[in-house]
Structure 1
Amino acid sequence: MKRVIIPALMLLSMSAGAQTFENKFTRPLSDVLNDVSARFGIRLKYNVDTTGLKLAYADFRVRPYSLEETLSNILSPFDFKAVKQNDKLYKIKPYEYPRRQPEDGQKMISWLTSLYSNKTEWEARRDTLRKEVRERLGIDKLLPLCSKEKPEYSKIRKFDGYTVQNFRLKTANGHTVCGSIYAPMSKGKHPLIICPNGHFSNGRYGKVQQLRLGTLARMGAICVDYDLWGWGESADEVGSKAHQTPEAHVMQALNGIRILDWMIQRKDVDTKRIGVNGGSGGGTQTVLLTVLDDRFTAANPVVSVSSWFDGGCPCESGMPIQLAGGGTCNAELAAMFAPKPMMLVSDGGDWTSTTPELEYPYLQRIYGFYGATDKVSNIHLPKERHDFGDNKRNAVYKFFIDTFKLDASKLDESKVTIEDENALRFTPKK
């Protein structure tokens, strides 16, 4: 009987779990990540399932001199990414197209800065962006379909120095948008502030929203807020899942423009003082509305504008507007408002943490093309996190007091009556 001699290398390749050229040096992803954790002295937290996943050329992806490069090399084949939480903790997450890292924001701002060095070059870029954002959003297909019917109104409710009235307005394709008008008791012409909502608790029915709009109204501004697409009364119409669709991005912008079309015709509105103010996702919408509509004269996005985060909800990034002009970001879209008054409110606990060092200086440069650096400002709250708290609201009040000459003596949130959700709905919730 003839003996079969098996080469040592072949025996090695046949052994369980061996890494060889034939199997592309493959190892289980979980084992590789455990080794990385031990090697670099870090802890990994998982928002993904690595069960059964295997990585080819596993150990060859390790860069002993760089944890960041190692994690990128290991995770990118699976469309995962590592998000640094602190020096010792990284979170493994699925790839998120609207979210990047502060270092990416720095690179983006540097690239954008290289595109224009004067007002003429900037305005050419601005005009290209405006055209492409409209096209990518698809809003011009819907605007001609909007109903010309006047809105329906609820009874006016009177409070200390202001009134509240609910409305329902038809938009496009048979849809409606519902909201509330907060107006001062005083007669005469008043500034108008359109207030798109963010994703804060209870939407436009929440206490924080009512405090802000009621206080601004007491000081002399007419404020209008309205439901997010698929929230509140919009959810009654299209369902709550509609908010997680690209349609939300378009319809919320359409609703804001449609409301402005209607409100600006009121005899008590001063058309030279038209503001827009919102926080978080409402801040993203604030910037988008200024890009789409030139009638706004002052803008105040709160805890939103970033060069490295486009907004994680489809109502902010459902349509690919950040691909306009070969690539843009919310900081550049905000810059398109120059030289009109704008204030950014930022904090240390979210994607606006880099505003004082990154986004604000960039905006100042653009405003500088117009000799208007005094028209853009930033209130940064480094110890605060992502919310619309007292200090952020106070920054909003000061901005509109200064910009629209509101009556600062009426700044008193304790005078605002907090209503329940049914009171603010056009159709009471059953």
Structure 2
Amino acid sequence: MVSTLVMIVLSVTVGAPADDWSVLPGHSQLKDPQSMMTNYLLGQIAEAQKRWREAYEKRTTVEEIRQHQEFLKREFLRRIGGLPERTPLNPQVVGRLQRKGYLVEKIIFESQPRHFVTAVLFLPDPAKYQPPYAAVLVPCGHSNESKGYKEYAAFAALCASNGLAALVFDPIDQGERHQWRNPDGKFTLWGTAGHNMIGVGSILLGRNTARFEIWDGIRAIDYLQSRPDIDPQKIGCSGISGGGTQTSYLMALDPRIKAAAPGCYICSLYGRLIRENGPQDAEQNIYGQLALGMDHADYCIMRAPAPTLLLAATRDFFNIEDTWMSFRLAKRVYGRLGYPERMDLAETDTEHGFTVQLREASVRFMLRWLLGRDEPVFEPADLDVPTAAELQCTPQGEVMLLDGARSVYDLNRDYAQELKIRRENLWKTTPLEKLLERVAEIAGVRPLEDLPRPDVTVCQTVNGETATLEKLIFRPEPGIELPALIFTPKDRQPKSGVIYIHEDGKATDAGKGGPIDELVQQRKLVLAVDLRGLGETQRTGQTYFRPEYHGPDGQDFYLAYHLGKSYVGMRAEDILVVARWLKEERLPAGVPLELVSVGYLNSSALHAAVRERDLFQHIHLVRPLISWDNVVQLGFSKNRLVNTVHGALEVYDLPDLVRVLGERVTIQDPRDAMGQEWSGHL
């Protein structure tokens, strides 16, 4: 048995099955190692929920509620990166349709300079309803047809047929507003895939995809209020799914929305949604919101006591029980403010979507609270609903084909250039130690003295001819296991110790003749470790966030993001914990320590090395990302989501950390954000 293990350990070739090097089977305390990070993060979210609920129960006075509303609004805006300055809308009415019982105007406006928004305004028949009209803003859900999708257009037509104007606009990456264009000219990203790709670069800038959607909605209200045929004091907002998300955000932040009806979205981030479905796409995850205490109910609470109706479907994947829970929590706050009747809920026994019953409920609600008309509304079977083709606003069906059009990627590039200039000045004028403390704070890397000493289990020891292999498990905190391999040269004091981390796990370079074997032959003691969520604890089967674009960690990444944590920072702390253990427990006094990192883990390696600058004598980075700025500049990236740190580019970029370490760093085969070889200057 031992001889077989020796053969496996010392003679295995590169590419051998990973289970030849496995540590956890038979030794792990985890029920499912591949779900380790999911369970760990959900446990922390459960603790955050307890704190949120305790604070909620204590806020009972009007003054306390008002203070909390303002606090949440400030934090909400800060965490999405604030909002742009208002610039001229330059609206154009590019077409008109005469329909049965109402009119349609096709509109293009600029929410930011040359950043075009396509919209259609459904107007009541002036022979039946006299202007100025109350108006309902209709953000669209994740249909690629967007404003032309039959359910959304039908809602607008129902509004107009009953005396309400309705402005339906295309969100980014939907309808006529696809933002990413391939070199071959094709628009290949839409909906959630497009929003998630925008999210990667936005995170690094301290922004969120939601920022752009929110601003488009705010500017759409500006447009409505600019029209003489619209009553600027009577604005409502209602949308479903992704449109329910936008409605929730807009109603929380823009007090001009007098009546709001978000649909098929409001449930609970503390509840079943992220436990059963996982976090949704980029704009539905606000940085640190669950650690802060900002759940779905809080979008209603932030606007209390303004009239709000939750539109819900019994068989929605946005769980109906959690919808009712959030409704009750919000309604209690409305009651504390003296207006319990202004918080309401309409449920229909259907699946996800803007079904006819929810369309009718929303129109009734808007008539009641915007016009004082409390009357039944039913959608006629012969409602005249335009097609998507009839509602097209641009000549070629894409805003990015208009002259001078600027995408969200362009807007992010502009901001990235501003931040680059600011960073250069910051690093020239700020003491280094102060800068590095800020770096550690942003990434979430504590000093080594504050990190716990891990429990360490030696699972197996195998003696070979030239080296000894040990299989270990590090447990730096409850719920986290880091399986590791230690290769110790026999009969010779090691010249140095090496922490070896690889994006594909500890076994990747462990075969005979491979990089780890070469280091051992140089009389170096090597500890190869699976940092959290890698190797044996890598989650599998996660598909929502398009693994081919964002890697296998998208939903776990966003669980951490909700808690204000970065994978870069958590893994940097793992490096520090195991490095200290190796230095204190296995290396003779005076023997130096090195760090070798392969792939996207180089960001964690750099953060660990600059956090404890005396710990590693040398840091060798293989295939490092050239910079976070490159992620923003390219726009399209591959497997960089887990490598992001929220707002990092406001203070530093990866080359700044390399410069801090100076000659102790060697770089091999640098890569751009697409994983392509880079031959330029770092």
Both structures adopt the same fold (TM-score exceeding 0.5): yes
The residue matched to 2:305 in structure 1 has which SS? coil
Q: Does the CA-based 8 Å contact 1:170-1:176 persist in structure 2?
A: yes
Alignment of 1:307-318 (within 5 A): 307-308=268-269, 309=273, 312-317=280-285
1:159 to partner: Cα distance: 1.0
Rounded to whole Å, the distance in 2 between the matches of 1:212 and 1:374 is: 24
Query: Which of 108, 112, 116 is residue 59 of structure 2 equivalent to?
Result: 116
**What is the CA deviation profile of residues 361-420 of structure 1, one whole-angstrom value per residue up to 9, with x for unaligned ones?**
101111012110011011223x42211112222221221232234595774343432333
Selected match of 1:379 from 340, 346, 349: 346
Q: Secondary structure at the match of 1:214?
A: helix
| 1:7 corresponds to | none
**Structure 2 CA distance for aligned equivalents of residues 237 and 353 of structure 1:** 35
Q: Contact 1:231–1:243 (CA<8 Å) still a contact in 2?
A: no
Counterpart for residue 35 of structure 1: none
Counterpart in the other structure of 2:123: 183
Partner of 2:219: 258
Matches within 5 A, 1:20-169: 54=22, 56=24, 58=26, 61=29, 70-71=31-32, 74-77=33-36, 79-80=37-38, 107=50, 110-140=53-83, 142=84, 144=85, 146-169=86-109
Q: Helix, strand or coil for the counterpart of 2:75? A: helix
Instruction: Give 1:109 shift.
Output: 5.9
Instruction: Say if 2:154 is the partner of 1:214.
Output: no
In structure 2, C-alpha distance between the alignment counterparts of 1:284 and 1:380, rounded to whole Å = 17
* Larger-gyration structure (1/2): 2
Paired residue secondary structure (2:167)? strand
Residue 316 of structure 2 is aligned to residue 364 of structure 1: no
In the alignment of these two chains, the number of paired residues is 358
8 Å CA contact retained: 2:363, 2:377: no
Q: 1:123-154 CA deviation, whole Å, 9 max, x = no partner?
A: 111111111111111233x2x1x431430112
The equivalences for 1:321-400 within 5 A come to: 322=289, 326-348=292-314, 349-355=316-322, 357-381=324-348, 383-400=349-366
Match of 2:265 in 1: 304
Gaps in structure 1 of 5+ consecutive residues: 1-10, 18-49, 63-69, 82-94
Residue identity opposite 1:257 in structure 2? I
How far apart in 2 are the matches of 1:101 and 1:358? Answer: 21
Counterpart of 1:150 in 2: which secondary structure?
A: coil
Unpaired stretches in structure 2, ≥5 consecutive residues: 7-17, 182-186, 203-208, 398-682
- Distance in 2 of aligned mates of 1:329 and 1:422: 38
* Cα distance per residue 1:3-29 (max 9 Å; x no partner): xxxxxxxx6x77769xxxxxxxxxxxx
Q: Which residue of 2 aligns with 1:174?
A: 114
**Per-residue CA distance 1:152-192 (angstroms, 9 max, x = gap):** 11232111111111111012242111110011013222111
Q: Does 1:198 align with 2:141?
A: yes
User: In the alignment, is the contact (CA less than 8 A) between 1:299 and 1:343 conserved in 2?
Assistant: yes
> Equivalent residue for 1:65?
none
- TM-aligned CA distance change 1:290 to 1:356, over 3 Å: closer
SS of match in other structure, 1:234: coil
**Aligned counterparts of 2:21 and 2:322: Cα–Cα separation in 1:** 39
- Corresponding residue for residue 87 of structure 1: none
SS at match of 2:255: coil
Distance of 1:183 and 1:51 partners within structure 2: 66
Displacement of 1:261 = 0.9
| Contact 2:140–2:146, Cα closer than 8 Å, also in 1 | yes
Structure 2 vs 1, CA of residues 216 and 240 (structure 1 numbering), >3 Å: closer, same or farther? Answer: farther
Shift in alpha-carbon separation, 1:54–1:177, aligned structure 2, 3 A? farther
| 2:368 paired residue among 386, 389, 402 | 402
Supply the AA of the counterpart residue of 1:391: Q
Amino acid at match of 1:279: I
Could you say what the CA RMSD is over the residues aligned between the two structures, in angstroms? 3.4
Identical pairs, percent: 21
| Residues in 2 aligned to 1:104 and 1:303: alpha-carbon distance in whole angstroms | 27
| Distance in structure 2 (CA, Å) of the matches to 1:411 and 1:333 | 29
Where 2:246 maps in the other structure, the secondary structure is helix
Looking at structure 2, the residues matched to 361 and 14 of structure 1 have their Cα atoms a distance apart, in angstroms, of 66
Q: CA distance change for structure 1 residues 60 and 296 in 2, over 3 Å: closer, same or farther?
A: same
- Give the letter aligned to residue 293 of structure 1: D
Matches of 2:159 and 2:44 in 1, distance apart?
35
